[in-house]
Structure 1
Amino acid sequence: MHWQNGAQQYTNDAGEESVVTSTSDGRTARGERTRRAVIDAHIALIEAGELKPTGAQIAEQAGISLRALWANFNDLETLFGTTGAELLSRQDTMFVPVSPDLDLPERVDKFCAQRGKLLEFIAPYARAAGLREPFSRELRTNRMRHIARVTDEIEVLFARELAPLPASRRTQTIQALGIASTWASWSVLRDEYGLDVDGATAVMRQTVAALLAAAVHASLG
């Protein structure tokens, strides 16, 4: 093993020579650490109540220069997209699939309890995004990703009740269930009506149960 022109050269067990450019690898690792620090700083500021953090605030929180921030993120849209992906990843670690084989009341109860937990988790970020969504394609895309995930879960979890419905009625029911269990409704229950988490979850549960009961009734003619 020896160094040559800033690269580390070594021979493996098969006698083949390989070259590892330590300078390039170090730069890549530093860039990844900087990006991680920026994303964590962005999230921490929002959690602390700073709903529209500036680049300067994020850089200071991350302990880097403003120049380093923009060297790793081309603009705010890039930062919004990357932060959104991180939040979805964190949500994934919290998500526990509800079995479609359970009785309907138990499925509704578990679904709504988990939705309440996940909506409380994203609450600060959703409030922050709402201030900039009209001007940000990335933030609108992030919101649609969250809605799509809930829609996919609804279609699987309540397939027995939805499958017998005519296509148009099935689509309407899925959309209604999505509205009842995503941020738009949750924010009204929590921020406008002033309900606590248990109270907001109870309203969601009642709405979801009523929509599915109507679907079952319709499927029976």
Structure 2
Amino acid sequence: MKIVGFAVDVSRSQDERIVRGQRIRQSLIQATLDLIQAGDVEPTSGAIATIAGLSSRTLFQHFIRLSDLYAAAFDLAVGRAFRPDRPVDKASPLASRIALLVSDRAQLFEEWLPVWHFAQRVRLVAPAVGTGVSHLRRLLRERIAVWFAAELDTLDPAARDHALDSLDRTFGLDSWMNMRERQRLSPMHASRAWRFTAEAIVQQALTGPGSSPAAA
């Protein structure tokens, strides 16, 4: 997955200095992402500048600290990769929603692995990246709540929180990372195992004590 595109559109600006400055920043951010996607978990300023076709001096004219560039690259990666989920059909059977969510997230998380490794490596030297990781975790949790709203809304508050915790762990990045990196499963086998496990956990979380029967 090559993450491209930028939130700031400078195409209509009349100030050539602003346009040039933004384009340089964009090229530096994209160069950082290119290196991350290639497996570099902590790109150096020299490597980034070389890929962007610029000098290290130019890099630091636009990003005072390398950690600022790391944060900008991470923010762009999140904004491009984690777009709003597809609309959820709440009337769709629970099993169908589980299968679809596993399929969607398996593809997304597999593409995201290089960025995740980068974030884990630099979060201490680039606190903004650590903050971004926390925000991303909250975002993924909120989307789980939407995906299973039909079942979660039937639970009392305490049971809902417990069920949402279970679902968040089941469908989170850490779950995929565990299968791919620790268990060393292939993407195909990891996806199959994830769906099998998820079905059991979701059914238990949403149809256990204190809950109403979930849609089958």
Normalising by structure 1, we get a TM-score of 0.82
Are 1:98 and 1:110, in contact at CA under 8 Å, matched by a contact in 2?
no
Q: Say if 2:180 is the partner of 1:190.
A: yes
> Residue 126 of structure 1 corresponds to which residue in structure 2?
116
Structure with higher Rg: it is 1
Q: Deviations over 1:184-209 (max 9, x none)?
A: 22111001111111221223223332
**Whole-angstrom distance in 2 between the partners of 1:51 and 1:147:** 20
Q: Counterpart of 2:176 in structure 1: which amino acid? A: W
Q: Which has the higher contact order (CA 8 A, sep 6+)?
A: 2
Which residue number in structure 1 is paired with residue 208 of structure 2?
Answer: 217
Q: Distance in 2 between matches of 1:143 and 1:112?
A: 21
- In structure 1, the residue matched to 2:23 is 33
Q: Which consecutive unaligned segments of at least 5 residues does structure 2 have? A: 1-12
1:164-189 deviations in Å (ceiling 9; x for gaps): 22222211221222222222221110
TM-score by length of 2: 0.84
Q: CA RMSD in A?
A: 2.0
SS in 1 for 2:208: helix
More strand by share: 1
Deviations 1:7-33 (A, max 9, x none): xxxxxxxxxxxxxx95xx111000111
Report 1:27-106 matches (<5 A).
27-92=17-82, 95-106=85-96
Report how many aligned residue pairs link the two structures.
199
Stretches of structure 1 that go unaligned for 5 or more consecutive residues are 1-20
**Is the Cα contact below 8 Å between 2:74 and 2:119 reproduced in 1?**
no
1:77-116 Cα distance to aligned partner (Å, 9 max, x none): 3212211221122214595344323111110000110000
Q: Choose which of 145, 159, 175 in structure 1 pairs with 2:165.
A: 175
Runs of 4+ in 1 over 6 A off after TM superposition: none
